[in-house]
């Protein structure tokens, strides 16, 4: 019942007026039915215009009430869904990097998208079904007033049918829906590979053909699953509903007079009720697939939120220090720091450390070592992105506590090997257009892109150019510590030399601290200190 949970949890004030008008419009619909039944038994010559006015009054009341209630309730649900999405998005950014790296980021994005996609349409259909169920309830009460025997027979007929449908047919559809949803994710990932791996597939025809063959197989399976889901929808909902309605009318016409000894006039009333129920009951059945889909989508978001809450351990409630409290730091120390990558209990999980390291303000530190030696892991520990398995980080001889992390993060500007280049310059209070223009020219990007309305006009650049653009962003943020993970690896000799011989020295002269991962031994002389790793252990240079 995730939609109900969404309404109860995310709304501060329940929509009383909307719920009231919900019932008012339902009562108006029943009044319309009563008018039809009453007027059908009056001879034409005795009909009065006053009856028409009464009918039109209830019709207007039905339309206005339903419109007002739907508008207010729909607005409430949309607000609740926005609130949930915003809160989960905020918690994602507050969570830990190690948790984010373990997530299937594509699946998370897909779940968020699925929840937002067609949410208004689904909730509208579901609200209409709830509205119809209220009408059905009132109709049955009216039928009870007309004939107790007719009510019992019709209630048992429809009630038993709905029970069997819910217990068996709806469950069958739900299982197939889940299978199809999973297959859609597989196809989306495969198509994503087709775009992101275009170069590799284009250059290798055998690889491309095999990938496309697998993609076709996934699509064929998805087609079969989708067709089966559609067939189940037709059989379990459309045909079942039509059969239920026709069966209901048959019971009223043939069985009811015999079983209950009801006169033809009462049978006519019950028949009118049955025909009237066609719309409301149809709405109930039509809404079931949307109910299943919406509940599952909202449930996935709540499940994600629960997982994040377990990961951050109430981190959001901790008192926060001022973000600039560490800006005048003098040193950062790592004391007996160890970190083990969580590979689901694998005994071969990589372990870094124990590491003992001190970094003084204003110095240049190079982290060197072979591939897989733990350089990037160490950089993530230094920046606080990874929480140490044991040991501690100290800043100016004070242990770094969980509540200090936001202020500690604020010391760093980093460009990792898997950096993400945002097209907009977020987090800058003011942007000096002359400085931006100067940096673009310095990085030889002035003809490639520009900054308009705090955003780059184009980020579709080469790998080296994108890294230089990332460097511009890092320099504009002007943080005390810069972390560079093999920044120069994708640069030509000109920018590689500029990075080591000019840029790093310039940052040092400005009192900045630079920590860089490097393989360029020709430039090791630039560093004040070199820290070498082999297989996760510190070794002498």
pLDDT tens-digit map of 154-165: 777 777 777 777
For residue 344, what pLDDT is reported? 62
For residue 478, what pLDDT is reported? 92
For residue 88, what pLDDT is reported? 86
User: Cα dihedral sign for 44, 50, 55, 56?
Assistant: positive
Sites in the chain below the pLDDT cut of 50: none
For residue 534, what pLDDT is reported? 93
Return the H-helix or E-strand segment holding 421. Answer: none
For residue 514, what pLDDT is reported? 97
Residue 506 CA to residue 509 CA, distance in Å, equals 5
Rounded to 5 degrees, what angle do the CA atoms 74, 76, 78 make? 70
| Contact between 332 and 359 (Cβ < 8 Å) | yes
List the one residue out of 380, 394, 364, 397 whose CA is nearest residue 510: 364
Which residue in the block uniquely carries the two structure tokens 């500690």? 408
For residue 393, what pLDDT is reported? 95
List the one residue out of 454, 503, 498, 461 whose CA is nearest residue 482: 503
For residue 528, what pLDDT is reported? 95
Bridge partner residues of 109 (DSSP)? none
For residue 509, what pLDDT is reported? 95
pLDDT tens for 62-89 read: 999 989 988 888 888 888 888 888 888 8
Residue 372 CA to residue 353 CA, distance in Å, equals 13
Helix axes 49-94, 2-10, angle to 10 degrees: 80
- Coil, helix or strand for 370? coil
For 427, other C-beta atoms within 10 Å of its C-beta total: 9
For residue 105, what pLDDT is reported? 67
Q: How many residues can be counted in the chain? A: 541
For residue 316, what pLDDT is reported? 53
Residue 462 CA to residue 485 CA, distance in Å, equals 18
For residue 3, what pLDDT is reported? 81
Residue 357 CA to residue 363 CA, distance in Å, equals 13
For residue 357, what pLDDT is reported? 95
| Contact between 522 and 492 (Cβ < 8 Å) | no
Return the H-helix or E-strand segment holding 10. Answer: helix 2-10
Give the E-state strand segments of 311-387 in sequence order.
331-340, 351-360, 364-369
Return the H-helix or E-strand segment holding 515. Answer: strand 513-517
Residue 489 CA to residue 487 CA, distance in Å, equals 6
Bridge partner residues of 268 (DSSP)? none
Bridge partner residues of 530 (DSSP)? 366
Domains of the chain, CATH where assigned: 1-146 (no CATH), 331-539 (3.40.50.300)
* CB contact set of 273 (below 8 Å; sequence gap of 6+): 33, 37, 139, 142, 143
Predicted TM-score of the model (pTM): 0.76
Residue 439 CA to residue 445 CA, distance in Å, equals 8
């Amino acid at each position: 019942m995730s939609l109900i949970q969404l309404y109860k949890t995310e709304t501060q004030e329940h929509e009383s007026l909307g719920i009231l008008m919900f019932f008012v419009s339902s009562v108006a619909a029943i009044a319309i039915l009563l008018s039809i039944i009453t007027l059908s038994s009056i001879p034409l010559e005795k009909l009065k215009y006053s009856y028409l006015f009464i009918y039109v009054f209830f019709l207007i009341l039905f339309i206005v009430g339903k419109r007002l209630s739907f508008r207010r309730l729909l607005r409430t649900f949309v607000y609740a869904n926005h609130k949930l999405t915003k809160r989960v998005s905020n918690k994602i950014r507050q969570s830990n990097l190690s948790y984010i790296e373990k997530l299937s980021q594509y699946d998370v994005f897909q779940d968020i998208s699925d929840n937002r996609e067609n949410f208004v349409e689904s909730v509208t259909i579901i609200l209409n079904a709830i509205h119809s169920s209220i009408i059905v309830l009132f109709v049955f009460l009216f039928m009870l007033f007309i004939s107790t025997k007719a009510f019992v027979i019709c209630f048992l007929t429809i009630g038993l049918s709905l029970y069997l449908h819910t217990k068996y047919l709806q469950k069958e559809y739900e299982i197939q829906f889940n299978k199809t949803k999973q297959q859609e994710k597989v196809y989306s990932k495969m198509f994503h590979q087709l775009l992101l791996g275009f170069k590799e597939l284009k250059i290798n025809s055998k690889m491309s053909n095999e990938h496309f063959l697998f993609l076709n197989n996934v699509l064929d399976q998805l087609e079969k699953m989708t067709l089966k889901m559609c067939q189940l929808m037709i059989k379990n909902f459309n045909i079942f509903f039509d059969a239920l309605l026709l069966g209901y009318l048959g019971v009223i016409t043939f069985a009811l007079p015999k079983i209950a000894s009801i006169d033809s006039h009462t049978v006519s009333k019950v028949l009118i009720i049955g025909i009237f129920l066609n719309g409301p009951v149809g709405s109930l059945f039509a809404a079931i697939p949307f109910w299943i889909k919406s509940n599952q989508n909202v449930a996935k978001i709540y499940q994600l939120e629960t997982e994040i809450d377990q990961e951050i351990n109430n981190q959001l409630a901790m008192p926060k220090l001022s973000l600039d409290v560490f800006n005048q730091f003098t040193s950062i120390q790592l004391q007996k720091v160890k970190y083990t990558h969580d590979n689901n209990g694998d005994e071969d999980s990589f372990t870094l450390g124990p590491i003992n390291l001190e970094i003084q303000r204003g110095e240049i530190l190079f982290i060197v070592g072979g591939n897989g030696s733990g350089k990037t892991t160490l950089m993530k520990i230094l920046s606080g992105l990874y929480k140490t398995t044991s040991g501690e980080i100290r800043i100016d001889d004070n242990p770094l506590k969980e509540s200090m992390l936001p202020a500690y993060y604020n010391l760093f500007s980093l460009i990792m090997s898997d950096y993400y280049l945002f097209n907009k310059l977020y987090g800058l209070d003011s942007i000096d257009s002359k400085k931006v223009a100067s940096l673009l020219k310095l990085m030889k990007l002035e003809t490639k892109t520009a900054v308009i309305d705090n955003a780059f006009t184009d980020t579709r650049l080469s790998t080296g150019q994108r890294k230089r653009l990332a460097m511009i962003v890092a320099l504009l943020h002007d943080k005390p510590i810069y972390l560079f993970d093999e920044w120069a690896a994708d640069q030509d000799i000109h920018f590689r030399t500029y990075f080591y011989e000019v840029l790093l020295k310039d940052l040092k002269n400005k009192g900045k601290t630079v920590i860089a991962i490097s393989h360029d031994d020709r430039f090791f002389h630039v560093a004040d200190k070199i820290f070498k790793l082999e297989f996760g252990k510190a070794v002498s240079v």
